[in-house]
Homo-oligomer: A and B are copies of this chain.
Amino acid sequence: MHTPDLDHLDLAILSCLQEDARTIAETIGTKVGLSAAAVQRRIKRLRESGVIEREVAVLSPRALGLTMTFVVLVEMERENLAMLDAFRRQVLAEDNVQQCYYVTGTADFVLVVTAEDMAGFETFTRRMFFENPNVRHFTTSVVMDRVKVGLTLPLSGGA
């Protein structure tokens, strides 16, 4: 899992795949100047070495009726490891939580939460925050626009 050295061909391949994971090896090969087989072998290595963590389908929140997104800053009561770990587990189990970061600063956690509507979000806050004695305080921001939502990472040699 330690950093393998990636040449510019690897980066070009990754750039294709993080755009569209279904791009076939031959197409990539044409772009980067490599045979399909060579591309496949490189992709296999990139998967095995963990550079490609996984391949996922990105779903449309709107099509699924998840119209609302929130950013929530959470402050915990007292930071002890057991408590933080419990919160982590809770977050992982909660379907509404799309993302969670443990951060430095005033807040302890930053959450990105989706919900069907306000009512759905309120149910979530009750379950997640009000009923949790370890949560001291939380502030909610309603997302008006998802200006940029991506897992796309900047690749130095990006095609």
> What B residues does A150 contact at CB under 8 A?
56, 98-99
Stretch binding the partner chain, chosen from A29-37, A44-52, A127-135: A44-52
A155 vs B116: C-alpha distance when bound (angstroms) = 11
Number of copies of this kind of chain in the complex: 2
A80 beta carbon closer than 8 Å to chain B: no
> What B residues does A119 contact at CB under 8 A?
none
A6 vs B63: C-alpha distance when bound (angstroms) = 9
Q: A3-B63, A102-B143, A143-B102 are in contact. Are A21 and B148 (CB under 8 A)?
A: no
> What B residues does A66 contact at CB under 8 A?
153-154
Contact across chains for B56 and A17 when beta carbons are under 8 A apart: yes
Q: A14-B57, A57-B17, A59-B153 are in contact. Are A92 and B147 (CB under 8 A)?
A: yes
Give 22 A-B contacts (CB < 8 Å), ordered by A residue: A1-B63, A14-B59, A20-B56, A51-B59, A51-B64, A52-B57, A52-B58, A53-B58, A53-B60, A54-B58, A55-B55, A56-B152, A59-B151, A59-B153, A71-B101, A98-B152, A101-B146, A101-B149, A102-B143, A104-B144, A105-B139, A110-B141
